[in-house]
Amino acid sequence: MTLAPFGARFVAALAERGPFCVGIDPHAALLHDWGLDDDVAGLERFALAVVDAVAPLCAVVKPQSAFYERFGSRGVAVLERVIEQSRAAGALVLLDVKRGDIGSTSQAYAEAYLDPASPLAADAVTVSPYLGVGSLDPFVDAARRHGGGLFVLAHTSNKEGPEVQHAVTDTGEPVGDRVLAHLRRLNDGAEPLGSFGAVVGATVAAEIAGVGPERYAFNGPILAPGYGAQGGTAADVRRIFGPAAAHVTPSSSRQVLRAGPDPEAMRDAVRRANDELRTPA
């Protein structure tokens, strides 16, 4: 059965549950803080406890694949359960893999993460456009075919990002803005929202190259990492994204996961974040 387009499901999920996205990132330090060993058993107890606590509340959860892959096949098996149980609880799963390659390799990645026949199939994935946005065509095709979504790296808040993302293209526009222009074309005419989104740091300046929030009016969803413990605020979301803030899912992992292993404390952290993000300026 083909799902409704991701953009439509994203809009409905945010309206029902609020915009906040929880990153399910089993750092070794967090496992230790929870009194767990840094092994597959600790990973499983941690990750599934977080799913049980927050997936019934959140519109979006975002497991970072690397923290599961580091344990090999047994860790990936835990990731499969995280995806399955999160979706069963009603959350959209955005798998943070940041894949980007060409040709048949890109096609294989797309099948791994967006084809419902795959045990790793998620609702959406993060991807890198820096082999050329056209290299993502297999992901675009798979997303359209299966009702999935993409979040393409555009304006990330890591200090190394500007040397690529702010570099000027042959047309005089920054590379990050060229990525957004491609997304605008992919989402053209989609209602209520397109399925092809961008990753834009919640702490990134809105005035890159003198352009304001209008740059983010590309009719697609936006993932804004860096909210909460990393310094991003609800005011930053409104300032950076302007009218597009309604389609932003700000994400944090530490803000919620440090409240564990108490499930109610994690739920309270999610509720507080959603309340802050929903409060008018």
CA distance 66 to 166: 27
Instruction: Render the chain in DSSP notation, one character per residue.
Output: -PPPPHHHHHHHHHHHH-S-EEEE---HHHHHHTT--SSHHHHHHHHHHHHHHHTTT-SEEEEBTHHHHTTTHHHHHHHHHHHHHHHHTT-EEEEEEEE---HHHHHHHHHHHH-TTSTT--SEEEE--TT-GGGGHHHHHHHHHHT-EEEEEEE--STTTHHHHTSB-TTSSBHHHHHHHHHHHHTTT-SS--SEEEEE-TTS-TTGGG--GGGG-SSS-EEEE-BGGGSB-HHHHHHHHGGGGGGEEEEESHHHHTTTT-HHHHHHHHHHHHHHHHS--
Sign of CA dihedral 251, 255, 261, 267: negative
Q: Which of 27, 98, 267, 272 is catalytic?
A: 98
Question: Is 159 among the catalytic positions?
Answer: no
Angle of helix 73-88 versus helix 40-54 axis, rounded to 10: 10
Cis peptide before 263 (omega within 30 of 0): no
Tell me the two tokens of residue 16: 């029902």
CA distance 148 to 150: 7
Catalytic residue list: 98
